[in-house]
């Protein structure tokens, strides 16, 4: 009996439940559908706003942030529409980026002067990066005018200053010139800088170094993030992601935090000081696009070059900016034997007596050339000149080394495309290394 009553009660309950469900469906489905669609809308608008938030944070509508957005929001069902819309709304480079590496171009600037100086502008995806700004204040205009044509958003995401010598910093400060909005021609007065990374150590007391400090202070007050190379190493081992398969790494140099008098710790044969303490303090940077690596070692000389090898896991480098403008004191075999460069760019006005009374030691020195020749004959130089009569002309001019989304290298020159070994200056002033005489390279 008990059992039967329970089953009758159960049947009644089941009928009531079915009736409730049917009624709920009849009333609820349109409401439920409406709820679903409004929820979808709010989802997509929230992910839209997050992508615009991240792109405004990076100050670039960079393709890398588009890719980051897609990977970070891929767990959300509405992410696919926000990815495609953000890709649609960005430039065509995004689709090529998606298929391979983010492209990178290195511009070694012809500084339009008989003075030797360093200045490399790097376009890495949508990041604008400048390493150094030589050679004298007058080159502030040359560099700023160049950057005005290349930095579309007027923001340099990174400025890296290798050391305190004027041929690396004077153009960052520039000259007084009323035709520039800031009243000065220098790069640091004409562009916003997101992050400035410079040398942890210097003995400089020069006027131009003081002016650089003023310009740096002004940027910091305007919101620029300032890091020494040593501080930059604290985050992600100095590695800064720039795009798909593309990064920049601040390298460790023993002289960031050691005195020249500590040199014997680096190598027992090293004396208390190398060729130039200030040069040895240089910030070194490695760029990597897949397996294509590019090394910038500022004016690091033999001692600090040894520390770059000993303290970092340096890869073979497709591209090397010749150490210290091609000086005989840099680009040591100890470094070259590890990086085995395939393309070498010398940023210098070659052949001048500015830094060398011995013509064989003018940039690039015979000794450096002989060491380069073991690895490559693809050596290019920005300018050629005569310091005594204050004359100069482009040699290769501004040299652009680019890597596309598949990692293929291409070279471009604003002047001659001759390799150093085929130039008139070389044939008249240097001895052809044995390796460059045959057809072996």
Q: For binding to Ca ion (CB under 5 A), which residues are involved?
A: 128, 153, 155
Give Cα 109 to chain centroid, integer Å.
15
Residue 244 CB, nearest approach to Ca ion (Å) = 18
- Determine the Cα angle at 91 with ends 87 and 92, to 5°: 85
Beta carbon of residue 191, minimum distance to Ca ion (angstroms, whole number): 9
The residue (of 155 and 418) whose beta carbon lies closer to Ca ion is: 155
Rounded Cα gap, residues 99 and 109, in angstroms:
30
Strand partners, 319: 294, 343
Q: Which of 207, 106, 109, 121 is nearest to 165 (CA)?
A: 207
Least separation, in Å, of the C-beta of 246 and Ca ion?
Answer: 15
In the complex with Ca ion, which residue's Cβ is closer, 155 or 239?
155
For the bound state, the minimum distance from the C-beta of residue 94 to Ca ion, rounded and expressed in Å, comes to 16
Q: How far apart are the first and last CA of the chain?
A: 103
Q: Which ranges of 91-165 would DSSP assign to H, the alpha helix? A: 93-99, 139-150
Closest CB 184 distance from Ca ion, rounded Å: 20
Q: Which is nearer to Ca ion, 124 or 373 (CB)?
A: 124
Closest contact distance (angstroms) between CB of 243 and Ca ion is 13
Are 156 and 143 in contact, with CB atoms under 8 Å apart?
Answer: no
3-class DSSP assignment, residue 201? coil
Q: Where are the alpha helices (DSSP H) in 156-234?
A: 166-173, 187-190, 207-221, 229-232
Q: Which two tokens stand for residue 377?
A: 């004959």
Q: Tokens 């240097």 label which residue?
A: 430
Q: Which residue is nearest to Ca ion (CB)?
A: 128
Give the nearer residue to Ca ion in terms of CB position, either 130 or 401. Answer: 130
Would you state the structure tokens that stand for residue 197, as one six-digit string? 């990374």
Give whichever of 147 and 379 is closer to Ca ion, judged by the CB atom.
147
Instruction: Tell me whether residue 61 or residue 312 sits nearer to Ca ion (CB atom).
Output: 61
């Amino acid at each position: 009996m008990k059992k039967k009553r329970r089953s009758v009660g159960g049947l009644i309950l089941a009928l009531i439940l079915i009736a409730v469900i049917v009624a709920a469906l009849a009333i609820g489905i349109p409401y439920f559908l409406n709820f679903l669609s409004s929820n979808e809308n709010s989802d997509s608008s929230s992910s839209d706003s997050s992508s615009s938030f991240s792109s405004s944070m990076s100050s670039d509508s960079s393709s890398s942030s588009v890719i980051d957005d897609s990977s970070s929001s891929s767990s959300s069902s509405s992410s696919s529409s926000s990815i495609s819309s953000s890709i649609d709304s960005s430039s065509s480079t995004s689709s090529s980026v998606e298929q391979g590496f983010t492209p990178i171009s290195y511009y070694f600037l012809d500084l339009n002067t008989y003075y030797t100086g360093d200045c490399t502008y790097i376009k890495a995806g949508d990041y604008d990066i400048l390493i150094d700004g030589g050679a004298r204040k007058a080159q502030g205009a040359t560099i700023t005018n160049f950057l005005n044509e290349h930095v579309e958003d007027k923001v340099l995401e990174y400025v890296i200053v290798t050391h305190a010598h004027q041929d690396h910093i004077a153009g960052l400060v520039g000259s007084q010139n009323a035709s520039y909005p800031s009243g000065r021609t220098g790069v640091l007065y004409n562009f916003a800088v997101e992050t400035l990374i410079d040398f942890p150590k210097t003995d400089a007391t020069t006027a131009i170094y003081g002016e650089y400090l003023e310009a740096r202070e002004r940027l910091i007050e305007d919101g620029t993030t300032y890091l020494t190379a040593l501080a930059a190493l604290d985050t992600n081992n100095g590695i800064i992601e720039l795009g798909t398969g593309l990064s920049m790494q601040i390298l460790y140099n023993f002289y960031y935090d050691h005195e020249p008098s500590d040199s014997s710790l680096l190598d027992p044969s090293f004396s208390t000081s190398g060729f130039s303490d200030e040069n040895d303090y240089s910030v070194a940077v490695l760029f990597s696009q897949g397996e294509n690596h590019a090394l910038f070692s500022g004016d690091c000389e033999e001692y600090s070059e040894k520390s770059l090898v000993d303290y970092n896991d340096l890869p073979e480098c497709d591209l090397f900016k010749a150490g210290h403008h091609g000086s005989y004191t840099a680009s040591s075999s100890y470094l070259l034997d590890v990086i085995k460069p395939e393309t070498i760019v010398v940023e210098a006005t070659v052949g001048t007596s500015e830094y060398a009374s011995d013509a064989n030691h003018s940039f690039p020195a015979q000794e450096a050339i002989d060491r380069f020749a073991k690895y490559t004959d693809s050596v290019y130089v920005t300018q050629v000149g005569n310091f005594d009569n204050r004359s100069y002309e482009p040699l290769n001019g501004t040299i652009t080394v680019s890597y596309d989304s598949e990692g293929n290298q291409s070279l471009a020159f604003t002047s001659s495309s001759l390799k150093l070994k085929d130039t008139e200056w070389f044939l008249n002033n240097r001895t052809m290394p044995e390796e460059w005489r045959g057809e072996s390279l």
